[in-house]
Chains A and B, each alone.
Chain A
């Protein structure tokens, strides 16, 4: 293919309707827009972070229709009608979600860049365990799954923290799980 053949056409636009943190949002997007960029660049919800844009780091984790996903690996137009919770929807500076408060108390972060993804993942992980969804380290598929450190570490391993707050994040999640129980 010559260079001339590859000249980009005008962007293909599409309308997409999402419910983001309880609010109905209508967007007219270039269909190449990732769900992450729809949030960050179009809705100015910048709490979800772009660490790699390749699904390798987890900083963009959002909860979509009840399941956590890497928002950089999915196009916004694939989520017509989806219910999306971002970090901004979990709690606000003066009204923290228990998981956010636990991260502050246990110092489960340092630079803060992976933190929204860790927290969204953390909330979803506890729900997954509660729902009986097994992981690689679940020993007994027929018994209720315990919120053990091993389960947390396994399930959280898609969320990289280069500052190395892992030990504290496990403590924060364990504390929240104990409160829920």
Chain B
């Protein structure tokens, strides 16, 4: 028993610096943000002089009656969903192929990873140029390519389209494509790292038993990579909530806010509008959203273990 107590103390000792740092830098600051979100700090004067009144949940009520915020929430949900699915599907596919060492795999791998290395400000601009539609008589970007290839029927409004299917704004597709482009390489990297750990013998045995590539993937590779896939999902979810730079540069919030996300709204509210309390309210709602999405995952993981 003494042995266990000692090990437990050592464990806690290892974790202690991280726990303290996160305690202050995350939970301390979240506490502060919650406090701000319950006040009426809507300009720097009151912020500086500490003159504020607690207004309860007023900022939150206001946000939930704000069409821009609601649109942004929906957009972020759909963006998160399709971005995670897209990056995961593409990343896993690339990892499985590259793991089989096709000719030139090293080059392919680095080409797929490269987009992540380039500043968002610039990749966002390039994607904006690509998806900026131009006008029918003088198309631009990808439309220009379609036009010159003699397929003008493929020309489309892209991210300036205000068309939507239910709450899903179709303009988001362009941002999803850009984000998948930028991050599926990393999903591939995470999966490749995991595949390193799966013993060759296991796959060899399955192959001798006559399992097809697909069966090996669904019965062996995918189940064994579950933990890593979940890491990837969390990471991608994290990216999709913080896609501020990409969206801000690429499309802005768009006509009728079709490409707005709360991170952009928060930035504009806080730093352009000096509306600290409402900005803080947006942060807290985002965090609660994350809580709702992430807690089922955690519960699920712990139950399995």
Verify that A and B bind, or say they do not.
no
